[in-house]
Structures are given as structure tokens and as C-alpha cells.
Structure 1
């Protein structure tokens, strides 16, 4: 019985000892055996994980889906910002339009901003201005939104977000003319962007967070 007990202790010990010798013949851990030298290692996140898989080709002027924002209101804002200025708060274009959303000085006055230079250096105010201007435009265009939303005009499905984006580009008056002429009056800015293009490009976003407000002002 003692002999059996000895075997039960010695045999496992012997197996472990042999394995240890095979793995560590010099009784030392050799780090060279575990080096990653020469291996191709890729630490980059895959594009389909890092970006929304529906992000389309910007060069082809397709609808932009901002990473992770999709068709949300934040996605709407950032898509317009990218189109207008590549998202740069501090840029001024050749016509004097300012900031991330490229506001003109006259439009800024309608929402209570009278110091363009201060506006240009205040990102928080620029974000407030975008919302205030969109809410004012939504009030002006409220009847047109109700009348035309869901219809096809000049090959474009009319949506509230498309209407508001086009109003940001051209003003609510030009949008009314486009809708009420069924695409016959298609305003184009100095760089060739049209009401129709913005209607299509920014269609289908969720802009329900915006409340129609005749007297909307940008305040911080």
C-alpha cells in the first residue's frame, strides 16, 4: 500500500519534471523565443468598425452619414457642417461667410448676433446660431413642410430635413419658390450648390427636435 502511494506521488512529479526540462532546458526563460520581431502586426481598427458602414463617397456628393450619428439631428448638423466648411469653426470663405456653418452677417442679425468677429471665435455661439436659424426657418416654412413633405418634386423626395438644409443654403424664400414652382425655380449659390441638391443630399434626417420659433435668437 505504501508502495502504491509512492507511485502516485512520484509519477506525476516525474511527468512535470520532464515537461519542465523540455520547456526550460537551461532553467531560464529565453525571451528571444517569444519575440514579435519580424511579424506583421496591425493595430488599426477596421474601417467597418470605426465608421458607420453606410458612410458614402464624399467625392460623389452622396448623403453623408457622420460616424455613429446616422440620421439623428446631430448627424444632420455635422453633415451640413462638413459640406459647408469641413467642420471648421474658424474659417471664412471668399464671400465672407463665417464659421462651421458658413453664416452671412445679415442672417446672423436676424437671430440676434451683431458682432461677426466675436461669433467666428465662439464655437458655442455658432452651435446655438445653427439651431436658432433652423427653428426660425421651420416657423417660416411650416405650411410648406406640411404641404409638400413626402411628395416628389423634380425627382427628389421632399423631407423636412431637406427643406431646412436648403433654407440654410438659400434662405426660406428660395425654398418656397422651389417648392411652389415644383422645381421650376432652383436657386444656385456662387459655388454652384442648388436648393434641389441640398433637398436631396440632406433628406431623411430627424429634425423633430427643432421647434418652429418666429423669434428664435442665439444666446449663451
Structure 2
């Protein structure tokens, strides 16, 4: 893996809200502005809503409790645990019909991802700022490719595969995919280049 500087590009794909709109379309396959995004349930693995929340994430964010969940004893998101009542969410149905809470939760998720990424990089004596704005060359299925690292791409990729897999890619160029075969690098590229700042999403839990 080679990390190299790139020329500063002043053009962006849009702002933070534009990124969220694009992410909602990518996660659900439903057009921008359609409220059905919030009610979408993945028919195969049970991810919920506009941003396809998983059990493990909503546990981390304090909305949900379960001892057995997808990735920890379950082969999909069954949502058989209990809801904590945070932000008034007491059921799966309540979450699916609460757009404002989903928008709050994705910001909380990005906050968690950002903190986790920095923590995991610090453990490896690295820093996120050392990667932002730089091009990472990697190999995927035997082919040489490259992707520019931006904050928006980093957050989206962490949402796809988790902060640990994102850090693995930054440090070693290891490419991983989600259960549907979507590569972490595809999210780094597709959602890279949006003009976002820490204040756009960083909220206390």
C-alpha cells in the first residue's frame, strides 16, 4: 500500500445534508425525498430505516438491548430484544415511523464512528488527519486501484463495515465487504468529497 499526497480539489459533491440524502438512497434504493425510506426494512437481513440501522449499532447508541443479535449469535437482525425508550422509541415500528429520531441516530452513529476511528488509530500510533486528503493505493481482486480519503467517505465506510474494518483499510489496505458484497472502498469513493465538518454531526450521546 502506498499513501501519497494529492492536489487540493476545491469542488465538492455537496454538503452534509446532501451526503445524508445520497446515503439514504444507497442504503434503501428509494429515491430522495420519499418518506418510505424511513420505513424500509431489508427483507434479507432485517436492517431498519433510511440508514439501515443494525441491532449492534442501536445497542451502542442506547436505543436497544439484546444479548443475542446479528453478528453475536443471530444470522440476521431479528429485533427480539427490548427497546430502552430513548427519544421515545419503544418498538421497531416506532423507530420506522420516526424520521426525526432516525436523523438524530445517524448523527450519533457518525459521532461514535469518529471517536472509535481515532481511538483505534491512536492504538496503532496513527492519526486520522494523516490520511485525510491523501490517496491510498490498494489491490482488490488482483487489480491495482486507488481512492482518496475524505471525512465523508470515512464515515460512510465505517457505517458500512464498522470503524475497525475502516482502520484496517487505512493502515494496511485490507479490503472487506458487507454481507451483500459491497466493498468498503466503494463507499469511500462514492461518499467521498462531500463538504462536511465535525460540527455537522458530532453530538453527545
Matches of residues 90-169 of structure 1 in structure 2 within 5 Å?
90-93=39-42, 94-114=44-64, 115=83, 117=92, 118-142=94-118, 144-154=127-137, 155-169=146-160
Output the CA distance in 2 between the equivalents of 1:70 and 1:205: 5
| 2:147 is aligned with 1:204 | no
Mark the structure with the bigger radius of gyration.
1
Q: Give the helix-richer structure, 1 or 2.
A: 1
Displacement of 1:152: 1.0
**Does the Cα contact within 8 Å between 2:13 and 2:195 map onto a contact in 1?**
no
CA RMSD of aligned residues (A): 1.9
Displaced runs of 4 or more, over 6 A: none
What is the count of residue pairs matched by the alignment? 145
CA distance in 2, matches of 1:70, 1:159: 12
Unaligned runs of at least 5 residues, structure 2: 1-11, 31-36, 65-82, 84-90, 122-126, 138-145
Q: What does residue 39 of structure 1 align with?
A: none
1:80 lines up with 2:23 in the alignment:
yes
| Runs (5+) with no aligned partner, structure 1 | 1-68
Task: Give matches, 1:185-196, under 5 Å.
Answer: 185-196=174-185
TM-score scaled by structure 2? 0.66
1:163-208 deviation line (CA, Å, top 9, x unaligned):
0110011110110001010x2x111011111111100111111220
